[in-house]
Amino acid sequence: MLILDGKAVAQKMKSIIAVRALEFAKQVGRKPGLGVIIVGEDPASHVYVKNKEMACQAVHFHSIRLQLPSSTTKEELLQAIQKMNQNELVDAFLVQMPLPPHLSSEIILDAIDPLKDADGLHPINMGYLWVNRQRVAPCTPWGVIKILDHYQIPIKGQSCVVVGRSQIVGRPMAHLLTMADGTVTLCHSRTPNLREKTRQADIIVVAAGQRHLLGSDDFKKGATIIDVGIHGSGQGKGVTGDVRFSELEGHVAAATPVPGGVGPMTIACLLENTLILAQHNKNIIIN
């Protein structure tokens, strides 16, 4: 079984981004800047934000963190977003999810300037994605496309199943696979006989958020498995996915591990989105 090493592919992407960031700094007089707004004390979110900041440092970006208490009101958060929208040093930013339950992620996403939307989740950017004219794409599904591309796993003409229909992963994933000429079935918690569908597919992307939901019996021999799920502390140790990875050897052709598969690709795509928006907003081209 071929291990689809997201960490290595992400490292390769980051090396290219780092060179471009230095060129950006030369032309603009400052590093590209990625902002993060984090609300509350969710430990996993803090680990994710720290990882993003370390990734910024490694590619010569500067990072700007706005940390707010979990008691933050909608108005206070919208003000913080406006600060990021107006901050000249911030080329792109994101609001770390999940938010405390009293804050609606939809209202928050809508307030982000689409030209500073590092995650590619603003409705305007999702609309561009849907008509295949995207400047930036949601990081996780875009990272999946990149990893398949890196390992030259063909999508064209393949039967693809996506498990999960969330706005940030499943739905854009199904769209990107469709645009890459895959024949896609999008499954969710109301799909009857999920396993019948996954067993027929050549490529299965699992993003259900259910630890160890699927194993080797659920896939046909020779399939490619992409496990988006992350369960655990978010710190690498004891982290597992939606797929029972240890069962796959000798049965499927290729699979992403957790950790070290889709997770690092998501961060690399976030950096890439930031650089794309930075260049666009400063009207410069770096090859």
Among this protein's residues, is 146 annotated catalytic? no
Residues that bind ligand NDP (rule: CB under 6 A) add up to a total of: 25
Helix, strand, coil percent values for the chain (each to nearest 5)? 45, 15, 40
Residue 262 touching ligand NDP (CB under 6 A): yes
Q: How far is the CB of 222 from ligand NDP (least distance, A)?
A: 23
Q: How far is the CB of 82 from ligand NDP (least distance, A)?
A: 26
Q: Which two tokens stand for residue 66?
A: 């706005």
Residue 38 touching ligand NDP (CB under 6 A): no
Nearer to ligand NDP, 24 or 263 (CB): 263
Q: How far is the CB of 76 from ligand NDP (least distance, A)?
A: 25
Is it true that the peptide bond before 172 is cis, omega within 30 degrees of 0?
no
Residue 230 touching ligand NDP (CB under 6 A): yes
Q: How far is the CB of 235 from ligand NDP (least distance, A)?
A: 14
Among this protein's residues, is 52 annotated catalytic? yes
The values of phi and psi at residue 185, to 5°, are -115, 125
Give the one residue of 96, 216, 266, 274 binding ligand NDP; rule: CB under 6 A.
Answer: 266
C-alpha pair distances (Å), 33 with each of 90, 116, 137, 270: 5, 10, 18, 12
Radius of gyration of the chain (CA): 19
Asked if residue 204 lies in contact with residue 187, where contact means CB atoms within 8 angstroms, the answer is no
Q: Which two tokens stand for residue 65?
A: 């963190």
Q: How far is the CB of 187 from ligand NDP (least distance, A)?
A: 5
Handedness of CA 16, 204, 238, 230 (dihedral sign): positive
Q: CB under 6 A: which stretch of 9-17, 59-67, 153-161, 262-270 binds ligand NDP?
A: 262-270
Q: Which two tokens stand for residue 247?
A: 């069962």
Amino acid identity for residue 198 in this structure:
T
Among this protein's residues, is 119 annotated catalytic? yes
Q: What strands, in cross-sheet order, belong to the sheet with 92-95? A: 62-68, 33-39, 92-95
Of 14, 31, 52, 146, the active-site residue reads 52
Of 91, 113, 117, 119, the active-site residue reads 119
Q: Which residues ranging from 157 to 216 are in contact with ligand NDP (CB under 6 A)?
A: 163-166, 168-170, 187-191, 194, 207-210, 213
Nearer to ligand NDP, 24 or 142 (CB): 142
Amino acid identity for residue 145 in this structure:
I
Q: How far is the CB of 212 from ligand NDP (least distance, A)?
A: 11
Nearer to ligand NDP, 112 or 230 (CB): 230
**Can you tell me which residue has the tokens 């049965």?**
251
Q: Which two tokens stand for residue 168?
A: 């940030």
Give the one residue of 17, 228, 252, 269 binding ligand NDP; rule: CB under 6 A.
Answer: 228
Of 14, 96, 227, 279, the active-site residue reads 96
**Can you tell me which residue has the tokens 């981004």?**
17
The values of phi and psi at residue 224, to 5°, are -110, 130
Catalytic residue positions, numbered: 52, 96, 119
**Site residues, ligand NDP (CB under 6 A):** 140, 163-166, 168-170, 187-191, 194, 207-210, 213, 228-230, 262-263, 266
